[in-house]
Amino acid sequence: MIARVLVALLALAFTFKAEAKEGWEAFGSGTKSCAEWTRAEAERRLVTEGGTMYTQTGSDIPGQTQWIAGFLTAFNYYQSATPNVAEGTDMNGIFAWIDTYCAAHPLEPIAKAAIALVVEFSKRQSGSAKP
């Protein structure tokens, strides 16, 4: 399962640009709705500085958050103009950004939230938007 998600992320990363793109497909937890993200958000624990999230729930929180982390990692490697498109924001801040997006767009897939995040953060990195 994890290998399929990583392969999908790599395939997506080769064609991804920091703008809306037509004709792409997401896989794994990225296809779940933002409404599912919002429901799971209530159970999500904060991420430690080392990147660990401790949880004892039966929800898909680890899968969803790791999908976002993998998406950002692939974007940083293949597309970002800087080593970290989210420079200055930790994973808790990233997840809070996704929380806000998903609350406003409950029917959209998590993958679209991730794209919106990298578009916004890319603008911040290039100086065309204020944080």
Specify the pLDDT at position 113.
Answer: 95
Specify the pLDDT at position 10.
Answer: 47
**Closest C-alpha among 124, 129, 71 to residue 98:** 71
Q: What is the C-alpha separation between 89 and 84, in angstroms, rounded?
A: 10
Specify the pLDDT at position 131.
Answer: 42
Query: pTM for the complete prediction?
Result: 0.60
Specify the pLDDT at position 111.
Answer: 92
Specify the pLDDT at position 118.
Answer: 93
Instruction: Give me the average pLDDT of each 10-residue run along the chain (131 residues).
Output: 49 48 56 84 74 62 83 84 84 91 94 94 73 42
With beta carbons less than 8 A apart as the criterion, state whether 12 and 67 touch.
no
DSSP string, 107-126: TSBHHHHHHHHHHHHHHHHH
